[in-house]
Structure 1
């Protein structure tokens, strides 16, 4: 038996002419017809609903009686009242076309979630089939069994302290970014990290360097804060700092992905890193290092973070568990330089009540017990293999017509198929066939100087599946 959901009723209009019981009846009926209540769903008892709405119980009884008489509700004695499982399908159809306006905008599902497995070639999604579910469930069950009243209270807006300790230890050892736990702030995703930094450091109108091509969601966060985005081109060595100096020498911040540039995949050279840090020190600007997938490097060990070279505390390091564990966690973090800890702490306290403490505790246990480092090692090997399989399948299916860009790391590769026209048209044909292929040209704020298709490989589970999907792509493009 499903537990009764919260009453799907807006406040009653007590001053209008329609009786209260009719308002209750009509709103339940509309909720059923619009699919907010499904057949078999249990509804609140008349007593509890009357108390919730502040009306007499007899008023609710009248509404329930009419709903039962018309077949919407079914009484099941001590089991309570439910939406009738025998309700005809026609009675559950929305009456008002306006409900269609409530549907997610195009592309929202592609970014935020899926009803089933990720679509083929989905970008930025870790290998869900390889996640250590049994280990994770064991840790979660242990935490739930030990749940105390103190664990059910609000936590520190800056994050659960043991998780902050685990993150600081991991970054110091694995990414070369030495920091104290007090410098670590846990957030509800990378965009939440940027929103926190915007509240703490930026004013409307402040210029911010962003990479061109780049990744749109972080830019949207800064735009909503009123910042003026300054696209700075990227070449084979990463962000062209001199171009940034020419376009906005007094920028307040630079947002960069130095380990594997999103989306080109190039790594910022040491000379370019030094040049960027020199500019930030001279201009009094902040560099936000988005190390979204720095762990996934396939030619030698992972590159050290830009933060490891930061002698003057100008780099704000940001990371996320979305790419290394799974995005449904909605957990990320940032490392604030010592001079910014107080400002970031104030921004965290005013911006939210923090992330769920239970989820943070499970992640902290996962890291502290060594599962995290073992998982990353396993994923690097797995992704390296899946990347090679995708490149081989592209060569087999497209032959010399495929120009494959194999960067040294990352979770996707870029393939150029010039004989099939521009990349935007190619992507539309592939998407129509159910393949979540993205065009490189769409990542430019201005005129695109490069084209290609972005293909995620992390969830291509076998050689046969990889070849099947590439052949589907070929058929879609041949249409």
Structure 2
């Protein structure tokens, strides 16, 4: 389709591409087709275009449609008008046709970026039985929450729709301060709280303000993958510290190792092992942090859910104004899509974190925060937690009952005194891997304990989430897992009809 091409050939080519049955308007189809040909040099500079009358008749479209497309091309400088002679293709630099890169071409990510992508491979897209960290979304008071949201959006202060730098809506910080003081023995004032878009953003803010690349962070081993990823993505040296029956044990930190800048712990309910750190170990950890000049990150992700033991006060409350940064989230007690978490900061850090958060993340969603503040202040939040606690206790009991044939033969489960998951101890890594393979074939999501190790896994097991699935599903999936485990444990080949129907 060059200069020598007649206008009839051009019209024939356009007729193949412009159709009233297309998804796009006729104006856009005509405009985009000619634009592409001109930009790629398929229509050379100086080539005359058919008249609008001729085009409209030949393509059976309105003349106004043709004129609109030509006006747009002319406005963009792709065609020019010559008085008394019509429209011509303008003289432009020729754009090469796009060429697909060879299949062997690879994108080179940074070492930090590649480490981040490697960690992303552990993300689950299936939220049925056994998916850890997923709350009972079927139990959430959706209608009540929607009414709150609609009212708070309708009554929202106009200023809330602008940029904010308060560290969160004051009403939410007030309500949250009261709740944490009473339920978690956290010592704080509203000014010490910064509302974030989840715990993950809180971790990122901590490492950006308090660490430099290459500095050391001590991390529970095994531990929470989200925190591991945040630390590694920031270029920190992550030192895994073994977890025993009392949580992280600083005395087991591998030597030699540099003094940590941060120490990350989940003392109320260690993730994923499920143990609770007793007061003597907490005091030892505080002393260790003070000796190294380190900040402790206390991740209190699901402490609301305790079933047969009294609640344990927060490490932050025990420490007073020591170097403890308390991180909480609403993802487990409400729903992950809410994307709200919070930091409780020592006084010297509060203003700096508030300003940095406003600059880096442009805080917002004040109408949603306002609805949540009312949800907490009116006692709806506490009632919801009480309901979830009772339901989760039942769901855990259902899972234990489904696994009872395997338990009778030696399968060991964690105590389950708190939280939203159980840890099933396995005989070895081979058994763990084989169960993962069988579960994948059956369409079941299993989380191996080995995934939570940064170093060589020292134990084999499965992290079994039960909070997010109804009891009938937990019963079916638990029965499947019991049969699969028994087959492997007893050295039998798993039955070919060992299937699971979600």
TM-score between both structures, scaled by the size of structure 2: 0.73
Q: Is 1:111 aligned to residue 138 of structure 2?
A: no
**What does the per-residue CA deviation read over 1:28-79, in whole Å, with 9 as the maximum and x for residues that have no partner?**
xxxxxxxxxxxxxxxxx9999999x99749999xxxxxxxxxxxxxxxxxxx
Deviation at 1:349, TM superposition (A): 2.6
Q: Show the counterpart of 1:350.
A: 359
Whether 2:356 is the aligned partner of 1:332: answer no
Aligned partners of 2:66 and 2:177: how far apart in 1? 53
Does structure 1 residue 311 correspond to structure 2 residue 320? yes
Closer, same or farther: CA 335–396 of 1 in aligned 2, 3 Å? same
Alpha-carbon distance between aligned partners in 2 of 1:50 and 1:280, rounded to the nearest angstrom: 71
Q: Is 2:257 aligned against 1:248? A: yes
TM superposition shift of 1:475:
5.2
Corresponding residue for residue 17 of structure 1: 41
Whole-Å separation in 1 of the counterparts to 2:261 and 2:400: 40
- Give distance in 2, aligned partners of 1:399 and 1:48: 78
Q: Structure 2 vs 1, CA of residues 264 and 48 (structure 1 numbering), >3 Å: closer, same or farther?
A: farther
SS in 2 for 1:199: helix
* C-alpha distance in 1 between matches for 2:206 and 2:67: 48
Which range moved further: 196-205 or 141-150? 141-150
Provide the secondary structure at the position in 2 that maps to 1:418: coil
**Conserved in 1, the CA contact under 8 Å of 2:165 and 2:354?**
no
Over 3 Å counting, the alpha-carbon distance change for 1:425 and 1:371 in structure 2 is same
Gaps of 5+ in 1: 21-44, 61-94
Which of 377, 380, 392 pairs up with 2:401? Answer: 392
User: Per the alignment, do residues 18 and 275 of structure 1 end up closer, same or farther by CA in structure 2, a change over 3 Å counting?
Assistant: farther
Q: 1:134 to 1:49 in 2, by over 3 A?
A: farther
CA distance in 2, matches of 1:226, 1:157: 29
Deviations 1:391-418 (A, max 9, x none): 1210135632422222421111012343
Task: Note if contact 1:189-1:320 (Cα within 8 Å) is conserved in structure 2.
Answer: yes
Cα contact 1:316–1:336 (8 A) shared by 2: yes
Report the counterpart of residue 128 of structure 1 in structure 2: 137
What is the DSSP-based 3-state SS (H/G/I as helix, E as strand, rest coil) of the residue aligned with 2:403? helix
Q: For residues 120-159 of structure 1, what are the structure 2 equivalents within 5 Å?
A: 120-156=129-165, 158-159=167-168
Is contact 1:190-1:320 (8 Å) kept? Answer: yes
Give the structure 2 partner of residue 185 of structure 1: 194
**What are the within-5 Å matches in structure 2 for residues 160-309 of structure 1?**
160-244=169-253, 246-248=255-257, 250-309=259-318
The alignment status of 1:433 with 2:438, answered yes or no, reads no
* CA offsets 1:64-102 (integer angstroms, 9 cap, x no match): xxxxxxxxxxxxxxxxxxxxxxxxxxxxxxx9998xx99
Q: Distance in 2 between matches of 1:274 and 1:111?
A: 34
Instruction: Please state how far the C-alpha of 1:282 moved relative to its aligned partner.
Output: 2.4
Question: For 1:156-176, what per-residue CA distance to the aligned partner results, in whole angstroms no more than 9, with x for missing partners?
Answer: 362222112221111111100
Offset from partner CA, 1:359-409 (integer Å, 9 cap, x none): 222222211221111111111111112111211210135632422222421
Taking a change above 3 Å as real, the CA distance of residues 420 and 16 of structure 1, as seen in their structure-2 partners, is closer
Aligned residues: 404
**Partner Cα separation in structure 1 for residue 66 and residue 160 of structure 2:** 34
TM superposition shift of 1:301: 2.8
C-alpha distance in structure 2 between counterparts of 1:227 and 1:106, whole Å:
16
Residues 158-212 of structure 1: per-residue CA shift (max 9 Å, x gap): 2222112221111111100021111111111211101111111111111110000
Q: Cα distance 1:338–1:54, how it changes in 2: closer, same or farther (>3 A)?
A: farther
Q: Is the 8 A contact 2:274 2:416 kept in 1?
A: yes
Could you say if the C-alpha distance between residues 263 and 388 of structure 1 is closer, same or farther in structure 2, counting changes exceeding 3 Å? same
Change (3 A) 1:97 1:204: closer
- Give, in whole Å, the separation in 1 of the partners of 2:70 and 2:122: 41
- Unaligned runs of at least 5 residues, structure 2: 1-23, 45-64, 80-99, 108-116, 486-493, 496-502
2:470 to 442, 454, 461: 461
Per-residue displacement from partner, 1:127-165 (whole Å, max 9, x unpaired)? 011101121011011112223432322233622221122
Question: Whose radius of gyration is greater, 1 or 2?
Answer: 2
- Conserved? CA contact 1:420–1:426, under 8 Å: no
CA pair 48-408 structure 1, distance change in 2 beyond 3 A: farther
Give the conservation status (yes or no) of the 8 Å contact 2:119–2:229: no
Residue 246 of structure 1 and its aligned partner are, at CA, apart by: 4.5
Q: Is the 2:203–2:227 Cα contact (8 Å) retained in structure 1?
A: yes
Per the alignment, do residues 111 and 97 of structure 1 end up closer, same or farther by CA in structure 2, a change over 3 Å counting?
farther
